A and B are shown apart, each in its own frame.
Chain A
C-alpha cells in the first residue's frame, strides 16, 4: 500500500509541473482537477493505513469542493475569462 501511495504522490508532482507550465488556462484547470483527484485518493489510503476515520470525511469534502471550484472556473473561462 505504501508503494501505491508513492506512485500517487509522484504522479501528483508530475501533474503539478503541468499546472506550473501549462500554456493555456484550460491546461492548468485540467492539471488542478487531476491533482486534486489524486490527492483525494492518497488521503483515503493514508486514512486506511493510519486508522484515522476522520480523514475520510476530509476526503469527501475536498472532492466535492474541488468539483464545484473546477466547474465554476470553467464556466467563468467560457464566458470570456475576465479580459473581455
Chain B
C-alpha cells in the first residue's frame, strides 16, 4: 500500500512539474489554460490519491477525499470561466479597434 502511494505521488509530482514548465513557457492565455487545466487536475489528483493510499486507512483520509472531489469539481469551472472571460473581452476590444 505504501509503495503504491509513493508511485502515485511520484507520478503526480512529475505531472505538476511538467505543467508548471508549460504554464511558464507558453505564449498565449489559451495555451497556458490548456497546460494548467489538464496537468493540474491530473497531477494534484494523483498526489491526493497517493496521500490517501499512503499509510493505510486513517481517519483523516475522508478530508483528503473531500478535497479531491472539491478540486476535481472546481478546477474545470475555473478554467472555463477564465477562458470565457478572456475570449469575450479580447473579442470586444478587437471589434472596437
Main secondary structure on B side of the interface with A: helix
CB distance from A23 to the nearest CB of B (A): 9
Is B10 in contact with A71, judged by CB distance below 8 angstroms?
no
Residue contacts A-B, CB under 8 angstroms, 15 given: A3-B13, A14-B24, A15-B23, A15-B24, A18-B32, A33-B78, A34-B23, A37-B75, A38-B16, A41-B44, A44-B48, A47-B60, A56-B63, A77-B85, A81-B89
Q: Interface of B with A (CB < 8 Å)? A: 9-10, 12-13, 16-17, 19-21, 23-24, 29, 32-33, 36, 40, 44, 47-48, 51, 54-55, 59-60, 63-64, 66-67, 70-71, 74-75, 77-78, 81-82, 84-86, 88-89
Q: B63 CB to closest chain A CB, in angstroms?
A: 4
Category for how many chain A residues contact B: 35 or more
Closest to B41 in A: A37
Contact of A67 among B23, B33, B74 (CB under 8 A): B74
Cα–Cα distance between A53 and B48 once the two chains are bound (Å): 16
- B19 → chain A closest CB, angstroms: 8
A44→B74 CA distance, assembly (Å): 18
Residue-wise, chain A 61-72 has the 8 Å CB interface mask toward B (1 for contact) of: 001100100110
Interface residues in chain A, defined as those with a beta carbon under 8 Å from any beta carbon in chain B: 1, 3-4, 7-8, 10-11, 14-15, 17-18, 24, 26-27, 29-31, 33-34, 37-38, 40-41, 44-45, 47-48, 53, 56-57, 59-60, 63-64, 67, 70-71, 74-75, 77-78, 80-81
Q: How far is the CB of B97 from chain A (nearest CB, A)?
A: 14
Q: Would you call A27 and B81 a contact (CB within 8 A)?
A: no
Contact A26 B85 (CB under 8 A): yes
Q: How far is the CA of A34 from the CA of B18 in the complex (A)?
A: 13
